[in-house]
Structure formats: C-alpha cells, structure tokens
Amino acid sequence: MPTASSPASGHSPSVSKRRKIRKGTFSCWECKHRKRRCVFEPLKDSTCVYCQSRGIPCVSQEHADPRSRSSDGQISERICHVESLVNQLIRQRDSCQPQVQPVIGVRDRASSPRPREASISSPFQQLCKSLAALFPHPNTAALILTKGRFFSLPFETCRSPLRDQSAVCSGIEQSGDVFRLPYSTSHPIQFAQKLIQLALGLQQLDLASCLHPQLQLEQKWSTGDSARRYVDLAVSHVTSQDALVDSLDGLDTLLLQARYHLNSGELRSAWLIFRRALSIAQLIGLPSRNEQAGSRAESLWVQLVYNDRFLSLMLGLPCAVKDLELLNWQALDTYPPLRKLYRIHSVIAGRIIVRNVRLQHCNLLSQRQLDTTYDHYGVTRGINDELRKSARSVPIDCWKVPTLNNTLSDTDKMDRISMLVTQMHQYYLVILLHQPYLLLQLSNHTYFSPSAISPILPDYSYSRHVVVPASREVLSRCLEFRNIRPILSYRGLEHKAFVAAVTLLLSHILGHRSGSENVLEHQRPQDLSMIQQAIDTLDELCTSNDPNRDSAIQTRNLLSKLLSIEAEAADGINYISCIEKDSVGSDDALCGTSHQGLKFSIPYFGVICVIPGPVPNLQTDGLLAGSAQATGPQGLLPSTLTQLELDCGSNSQLALSSNLQAEMQLLYDWSLEPNVLNEG
C-alpha cells in the first residue's frame, strides 16, 4: 500500500520527526490543510495525486508542517532580498538607453480590462516572486479580510454603488480575485494592492480585544505593526514608482493607500496621495469624454475627486479639479439614486470649497470684508438650492434611516451602510455651507429688530435655522454607525460627529440670547443627550489603542467644555465668538481651553474663540425715545462697542475691529434720526 512517510526527493529538505499518525492513516500536510482526501497512484508512492498535479512537496504528517517553519531570520532575509532586487532594477533602468514610445491613450492603457496574469519583464518577475514570499498563507489572508471586516469599511461601502455589492460580500468579485493572492507572474501592482488590503484588515483587527485563533502571524510584530509593515513594503517597492501605478489598478491601489493613512489619522499624507493619484489619472487621459458613463475608468475618476474634495473640506484646502472635468450631466439621470447623489455631492463639495476660499479673502468672520463685490450669501443660497434639488431628485425611500443589526446578511448590511453614509454626507454639506453665518451671528453680542437693520445688515437667520436639524441628522447617523461598528477606526466619521456636535451646541448658545422666545428650548434635552452619547463614544476611543486616540482626547475635551459653556449660557451668561487675527485653521490645532472660554479651529476661517461677552448696561435703557428697534433685547446700545475688550486665554486680548465699530456707530447715529425711525 502506498505511503507518504517522507517528502518527495528534491522538493524539500528533511525535517525532524514530529509524531506518529494513527495506523492506517495516509494523509499529507497539504491535503490536511485543504480538508481533502489524500489519494496516491500506484508506482508513485512518494507523492499524492494533488501534490503531484501542482508540483509541490508532499510531506507526511509524521513530519513537521513545512508551513510553520518560517522564522524571523528567513523573513528578514526575504526583505533584504527584495531591497537588493529594487536596487538592481534602478541600476538597470539608469544604464538602459531611453526608447521613444508612442503615447498611450486612456482607451489603450486605462480602460483595458484588468489582466489576470500580466506579461512583465524578468527583473519584475524576480520582484514579484520575492513579494509573493512575504504573503501569509491564503487561509490566513482570507481570515484577515473577513474578520477585519475590510469589505464593510465606510470607504468600501461608499464604493459599493460603483460595483456589484453581492459579489464583494461573497468574495467572488472578478472571479474570486478578492480573496485570492496574486500569481507569481502578476504585475507588481497586484501585489501592492493585496498588501494594502491586508494592512487595512489588520488595522481593524488591532482594535479588537482578541484575535481569531487561526490568525497565526509572526510573533515579532503586533497586528498594527504588521499592517504598517505591509504598507511600507507596498510603498517602497511598488507604489512609489510612477511607472508601476500609471493604470487603473495603480489608481485603485493609491486609493487604498490613502485610506490607510486616513484611518491612521495622517490626513495630510492621505491628501497628498489623492493629489498624486489625480495627477497620474490626468496623465493617462482621465477624464475622457469618450469614456462610457459608469465604466471603471469613470468611476475611479469620480472616487478620486470625491475623496480629494471631502478631505480638502476637513483640512481647509482648495480643490484640485474643476466641475467641468468631473461630471457627465447628460448621464446623471441614468444612474441609480445612490450613485447619482455620490456624484452630485462631489460637485457641491467643490462649490463650497470655492466659496470658502473667496470668504477667506473677504475676511467675513473678522467683519472686515475686503471684496465687497462678491455676493457670498447669494452664492450660498444658490448652493443651498442645489442641495434641496438633489434631495428631491431621488426617491423618498432613500432618506429613510436604515436600521443596522448583526442579524443582517452581508449584502443587506452593505446596502444600508452605503445609504447611511450618503445620507450623512448630504446633511454634512448643509452644515458646512451655513456654518460660517452661524458663527457670524454669534460674534454679534446684541440683537436688533430685523425691521430696523434690514436695510443695512443682511439677514442670516435662515442659515441659523437650517443647521440645527442638519446637525441632528448627522450626529444621529454617526451614533448609529458606531453601534454596528464599535471598533471602527475611521477619522472621517469622528470629524463629522465633531462638526455636528459643535454646530448644535453653538446654535443653543445663540438661542439662549432670546430668553423665553428661544425656539430650541423644547428640543434641548434631546440634543444634549445625543451629544453626551458622542462624548461617551469618544471616551471609549481614548482608552483604546485606536490610532486616532490623541485626536479623540482633544475632541472629547472640547465638546465637554463647550457643553459646560452651553449650560452657563442657559443660566443667563452671554457668550460670543470671535476669530483670532492672522490665525490659520488646521487639524493639528483642534482646540484649547481657558478658565473663561475655549478656542477651536474651523477650516478656511481660522481659530474661533468662544468667550464671555460684555455685561449689558441697563442704565442706558430709554435714552432713545421710541427707538427700541435699535437696541438689543437686553438694552445694550451699539455705541458701547467702542469700549469692549474681550479676554481669550491667559494673556491675549481680542478687540472688535475698527470697521465693525464704525458700522455699528453709524447704525447708532442713524437710529437717532426721528424722521427715519418714524418713517412709514
């Protein structure tokens, strides 16, 4: 009877005895791992049929498992070997004579189907073989992607309208290539893409309390360190070389690389990668007018622009491309609802960025408008109309808040998560559009009757009213997302929750100035409860090993302080906002607190200070006979602004600008004219 007592000659070195197997059992390690019957052919008793057909060693279970023999030394040698191969490639490329090649258009290079086994040069074959040796076992790789929930990450579900969700969830996208490791003859970009996918899965596993027992990784590195190592290998050997990423697969890989940095809290690194990917996309001919709507090339281009614009909104930076290069308006109505909103949100985000950049030059929040010809609020209302039209352009069912629970199938869960993210972005854009005018109203420490000042000062009450429900919608969806993904590492989700909570608290601080006429008072308990839930969620992140732990601590401290300020405002203390002169908003200077107030960064507009306002001088009541319209609800005259000094921090002094003082003094002088006040 055939036996499998020893490995095939010449296939593998001899190994030490491990254990005796049960009598009558003939099974090699490979068949055991694959849970299949080990069959031998007559006269070929050294190798089973399965191992012989694949040309791999047939090792009996009497010997040690060859897959467990890798050591740290062998891995280090493999990495050094890969480094040497890259150096050889650089030397060979420098020594070769340049050859003139015809220009490759987008139809030839970018729109061609993904090759299963691309034809590559001999040096790259050696590189690919070395990279293939660094992959974990296929079963381990599949576990990393499934247990790390790679396919239900927010950016994957945002891409899900562009792909077949059921295929992604079942792991059979493009004939099973999702879970399959690249062939040794594949293009290097295939290896880099899979390495970064594994890194994203490991990044989520690093947040879990325990690992799956079958995830046997190298003991020298933790899951987080292994994720960083995979990304470093992909970047240093593949994605850092422009010649290896000038294709659709290359752009897709750069998207994944940027998402890894975004989840790690490295926003600027992610932004630079998106900008590089956009430049490469333009070099290979994207966007192409001849490209079919919904094609892979068109979808990748929209994804790049979409991510670049939303990240630019977070960092306060300009956008990279114009709207004319983004959207095929004729084909817009042919898209399904979520894909349609995905593209509309890209356009609206770009227009908000352009408006914000113009407002930077206008110095709107500092009350010193340098460009009086720019109708910024007219532009804002125009963008607001586009958001309203986008909401009406899809069925009503698209706005139903999806319920998420662990009993849903993967396909249904991805559908609902994708809808949840799209809804959240709709309301998030509403907040960003109108937030500057909420801050502008909060900076004025007194109210005036609209009938008295409407000929001079614009009415921004619409913006103040519309941001409140939008903030509630964003915050509730962020909390819903955290319920289904409690270990999620995703900086963008935390940022949106922060923006919504701050806007909601500032709205309540502003509303308390109205006293008994505060229309937000009835919903205040529910709003504060929702914000407290967000703070509790941040507390969990602060005690975990989340890569965004430091930013979570800052955000929690700011929201807690702002919650206390709102409570003081409810008790009658007047708070106002002002902008630090020559300050630049960034994600690095998130917040700071003092004994009297706090300050935080608003992208495009600088560092905003929320501090106690001046105490109204009640003795001035009645000085203007019949001019109650020119005074605030607490009797404060505009002329007292010339005596106002604001304390923000330990030593810094902030004063209202001279232009604002002049404007308010003009209003005061105008209100003294009885003919004007009594007109009509």
| End position of a domain, from candidates 223, 247, 271 | 247
Name the nearest CA neighbour of 404 among 486, 497, 492: 486
Whether residue 237 is contained in a domain is answered as yes
Least reliable range by pLDDT among 120-124, 454-458, 627-631 = 627-631
pLDDT confidence band for 267 (50 / 70 / 90)? very high
Same structural domain, 527 and 617: yes
Question: Quick check: is 431 in a domain?
Answer: yes
- Alpha-carbon Rg of the chain, whole angstroms? 31
Average pLDDT, the chain: 74
- The verdict on 145 and 226 lying in the same domain is yes
Residues 546 and 625 in one domain: yes
Same domain for 599 and 515, yes or no, is yes
Q: Specify whether 53 is located in the same domain as 191.
A: no
pLDDT at residue 511 greater than cutoff 90: yes
619 occurs within a structural domain: yes
- pLDDT for res 114: 45
Q: Using an 8 Å Cβ cutoff, are 379 and 359 in contact?
A: no
User: What is the 3-state secondary structure of 53-108?
Assistant: HHCCCCCECCECCHHHCCCHHHHHHHHHHHHHHHHHHHHHHHHCCCCCCCCCCCCC
Query: Nearest 5 degrees, angle CA 420-CA 425-CA 430?
Result: 135
pLDDT band at 93 (very low <50, low <70, confident <90, very high): low
The pLDDT assigned to 99 comes to: 42
Q: Which helix (H) or strand (E) holds 575?
A: strand 575-579
CB 226 within 8 A of CB 206: no
Q: How far apart are CA 144 and CA 140, in angstroms?
A: 6
- Quick one: what percent of the chain has pLDDT higher than 70? 62
In this structure, of 16-25, 425-434, 462-471, 627-636, the range with the lowest mean pLDDT score is 627-636
Q: Are residues 484 and 629 in the same domain?
A: yes
Tally of structural domains, the chain: 3
Domain boundary among 51, 66, 81: 66
Same domain, yes or no: 481 and 622: yes
Exposure string of 250-269, with b = 16+ CB inside 10 Å and e = fewer, is: bbbbbbbbbbbbbbbbbbee
- Picking from 99-103, 135-139, 504-508, which range would have the lowest pLDDT averaged per residue? 99-103
Can you give the residue range of the structural domain that contains 162?
120-247
Domain co-membership, 480 together with 608: yes
Does residue 420 register a pLDDT over 80?
Answer: yes
Average the pLDDT over 290-314 and give the result.
89
pLDDT at residue 97 greater than cutoff 70: no
Question: Tell me: the pLDDT tens digits for 429-450?
Answer: 999 999 999 998 888 754 433 4
Phi, psi angle pair for 178, to nearest 5°:
-65, -50
Give the containing element (helix H, strand E) for 593: strand 591-593
| Claim to verify: residue 128 and residue 61 sit in the same structural domain | no
Do 17 and 163 belong together in one domain? no
Residues linked to residue 598 through DSSP beta bridges, in sequence order? 593, 610
Q: Is 591 helix (H, G, I), strand (E, B) or coil?
A: strand
Q: What is the pLDDT of residue 659?
A: 44
Q: Is the pTM of this model over 0.85?
A: no
Q: What is the pLDDT of residue 639?
A: 34
**Residue 389 clears pLDDT 60, i.e. is over it:** yes
DSSP state of 335: S
pLDDT at 37: 81
Q: What's the CA gap between 168 and 131, in Å, rounded? A: 25
Q: Let me know if residue 446 belongs to a domain.
A: yes
25 belongs to a structural domain: yes
Residue 179 sits in the same domain as residue 50: no
Q: What is the pLDDT of residues 155-208, one digit of tens each?
A: 665 554 444 444 444 443 433 456 688 887 889 999 999 999 999 888 888 766
Residues 45 and 130 in one domain: no
Two structure tokens written together for 192 = 């880099």
What is the pLDDT at residue 680? Answer: 37
Minimum mean pLDDT range among 14-23, 219-228, 244-253, 456-465: 14-23
Is the predicted pLDDT of residue 271 greater than 80, yes or no? yes
Position 331 in a domain: no
Evaluate whether residue 395 is within a structural domain. Answer: no
Of 247, 268, 289, the last residue of a domain is 247
On whether residue 135 sits in a domain, the answer given is yes
Report d(CA 391, CA 348) in Å as an integer. Answer: 12
pLDDT tens readout for residues 314-364: 999 999 988 765 666 667 888 889 889 999 999 999 999 999 999 988 776
